Structure 1
């Protein structure tokens, strides 16, 4: 059996509304259509079915048994279609009840908690999963669809055309030393003075590792690296314990009173742009729209960093 093209979901919705309200004017009002459009949809549906659904009593339409029979199946069709749309959107992560966000360890003290609080105020029903890792790991997980969005440090513009970027703030790189070190209190650090010193740093793949390498490229020598670690907390402990110096973004200064951050000379200057990245094909996802809006608000009110231009 071939279904007539004139039998559409929209006409079935009009038909079901009439079967519920049994009044042309009320159907017109509830659907935002004219009474002429409602009448035309019902008449067109009858013609497409090749079977009368109503009888006329004056200006009134009285449903026949055929109308009640068709209403049962039309209701199933509409319900199944709505369920299908919901399942497809859930499978694609659109407006799902859970949002998976990836971020750097160093953003978990202030930035991420404030974003999560703001997002929960916008969407109280939303559950949030937080994954932490390196830039490299998080970018891969986002591209592979394992994460819905990530907040990481970039150097320059986002080069992935499949991702949308929402900048939050810039963060400058400083020399990190244990409190009370011989360099404590220096206003501007010259890396040339550290040729004989030991350094500790993060493993490859972290935004801060890239800054570390860039600064020493500008200095023109390779630092003596005593140890590499996988997280910022271990790195801070190593610095405070006197194992070595490091180069860290300004935001980690609040993590421990046992380290001191000192600005580098201008010729070694390096900075990260903390940025939200989300898939371009999901830019209309209500959950991601809410997250992006919260990131923009954070960028405007974060007085500790130079505003993103």
Structure 2
């Protein structure tokens, strides 16, 4: 086992030593490190205590480095260089500052939001390539937590301090019916009056599924679900084919728009989804995410969201 290093010897104090050796004085080292001469002096004194030998000689107010100080400085330069390289490699493995952005998204956002975001990234020549992963809200949050995604476009909820979100837009939930159905001409839909109808739904874990459940909870009734599926486009296709009715976010209206009619819910059951870009708080200074944040805030302004 190697000799234990005294706790007085820290990476920060080794940085101070190198600054002093390069600058040649306490004042110059303090200027380079944006600190005080007192702090520099204390750090150098602590290093002497940690290595248990004389590193400096005093000539009036001047500190003169000894051969021992020069030897320690050479070692410090090597150690700090190795550490810096290791941190850089660690960040690359974790996706930090990578040129490939691992972006997650809800299926429904691939109609307009995702293409618009990628188009903005290319137009601004930010040097980022996008590796896109689609999934449910739950799946995307799990991937963010385990580090396999850098950021995700999803329906925002109470996520806690672990995550940060840049809000993009607010989306209304509609009753979806086949064009030509008996509900297609209704101005609004009373969920209590149609709960006996067959419905189709997304699997649990999707934001729209939870909105579906909440709306019928507000209506005080339980819908009959004929089938569940794993993406919103299959869900919309089931509605167009007459398999059942469902609730869908407004952003899907462009898909099968001639075959599926979107009808507002009665004011008693109206609800909205908050859509935003979510990432781990610990990654907030990641250069790639800072670039993406610029794009998101510009898009949010176009949607009328204050950021």
TM-score, normalization by structure 2? 0.72
**Does the Cα contact within 8 Å between 1:100 and 1:130 map onto a contact in 2?**
yes
Q: Which runs of 5+ in 2 are unaligned?
A: 20-31, 35-50, 54-70
Match of residue 296 from structure 1: 297
Does residue 134 of structure 1 match 2:136? yes
2-structure distance, mates of 1:83, 1:255? 48
Q: Secondary structure at the match of 1:267?
A: coil
**Does the Cα contact within 8 Å between 2:126 and 2:291 map onto a contact in 1?**
no
Distance change >3 Å, CA 11–CA 184, structure 1 → 2? closer
**Where in structure 2 are the equivalents of 1:41-80 lying within 5 Å?**
79-80=81-82
1-structure distance, mates of 2:96, 2:125? 11
In structure 1, which of residues 138, 145, 148 is the aligned counterpart of residue 147 of structure 2? Answer: 145
1-structure distance, mates of 2:18, 2:214? 67
Distance change >3 Å, CA 274–CA 4, structure 1 → 2? closer
1-structure distance, mates of 2:130, 2:283? 18
In structure 1, which of residues 84, 88, 113 is the aligned counterpart of residue 86 of structure 2? Answer: 84
Distance change >3 Å, CA 247–CA 72, structure 1 → 2? same
**Does the Cα contact within 8 Å between 1:191 and 1:219 map onto a contact in 2?**
no
**Where in structure 2 are the equivalents of 1:108-127 lying within 5 Å?**
108-121=110-123, 124-127=126-129
2-structure distance, mates of 1:101, 1:87? 21
The Cα of 1:288 is off from its aligned counterpart by 1.7
Match of residue 247 from structure 1: 247
Distance change >3 Å, CA 81–CA 122, structure 1 → 2? farther
CA displacement, residues 200-241 of structure 1 (integer Å, 9 cap, x when unaligned): 11111110011111111125343343x110111111111111
**Does the Cα contact within 8 Å between 1:106 and 1:252 map onto a contact in 2?**
yes
Distance change >3 Å, CA 2–CA 117, structure 1 → 2? same
**Does the Cα contact within 8 Å between 1:170 and 1:308 map onto a contact in 2?**
no
The Cα of 1:250 is off from its aligned counterpart by 0.3
The Cα of 1:78 is off from its aligned counterpart by 5.8
Q: Secondary structure at the match of 1:260?
A: strand
CA displacement, residues 172-226 of structure 1 (integer Å, 9 cap, x when unaligned): 110111122222232111223323321111111110011111111125343343x
Does residue 188 of structure 1 match 2:188? yes
CA displacement, residues 52-75 of structure 1 (integer Å, 9 cap, x when unaligned): xxxxxxxxxxxxxxxxx9999887
TM-score, normalization by structure 1? 0.72
Match of residue 107 from structure 1: 109
Distance change >3 Å, CA 276–CA 245, structure 1 → 2? same
**Does the Cα contact within 8 Å between 2:95 and 2:150 map onto a contact in 1?**
no
Distance change >3 Å, CA 2–CA 251, structure 1 → 2? closer
Q: Secondary structure at the match of 1:88?
A: helix
Match of residue 64 from structure 2: none
The Cα of 1:158 is off from its aligned counterpart by 2.1
The Cα of 1:246 is off from its aligned counterpart by 0.8
Distance change >3 Å, CA 94–CA 179, structure 1 → 2? same
Does residue 214 of structure 1 match 2:214? yes
Match of residue 173 from structure 2: 173
**Does the Cα contact within 8 Å between 1:188 and 1:264 map onto a contact in 2?**
yes
